[in-house]
């Protein structure tokens, strides 16, 4: 949680980062409509976002990008998050 707060202060407009053991391997960008998460490391990572009682998960291979969304019947893109954890 503290890492997310520090990253939001340091990079308020373009990118954020995650906490967790693989937090340094994840880059998060927001274009005003959707979040794009990129694995900038050399090993696969699992990224979990918590957003107001909803959880969004991504599995990313090295160099792969993804967009977190709710996979339910009415799948919606993640519009914000409270915490991010990468492992």
Reported residue count of the chain is 87
SS3 5: helix
Instruction: Give the end-to-end CA distance of the chain in Å, rounded to a whole number.
Output: 14
Q: Indicate the class that CATH gives domain 13-86.
A: mainly beta
Evaluate the CA torsion angle 5, 48, 39, 31 in order and state its sign.
negative
pLDDT in tens, the chain (87 residues): 444 444 544 444 334 678 999 999 999 999 988 999 999 999 999 999 998 888 999 999 999 999 998 877 777 888 888 999 999
Tokens of 21: 């053991």
Taking the model in full, what pTM does it have?
0.77
């Amino acid at each position: 949680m503290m890492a997310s707060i520090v990253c939001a202060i340091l990079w308020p407009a373009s990118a954020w980062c995650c906490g967790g053991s693989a937090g340094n391997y994840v880059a998060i960008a927001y274009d005003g409509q959707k979040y794009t998460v990129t694995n900038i490391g050399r090993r696969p990572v699992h990224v979990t976002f918590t957003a107001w009682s909803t959880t969004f998960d991504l599995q990313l291979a090295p160099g792969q990008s993804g967009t977190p969304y709710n996979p339910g019947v009415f799948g919606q893109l993640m519009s914000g998050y409270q915490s991010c954890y990468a492992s």
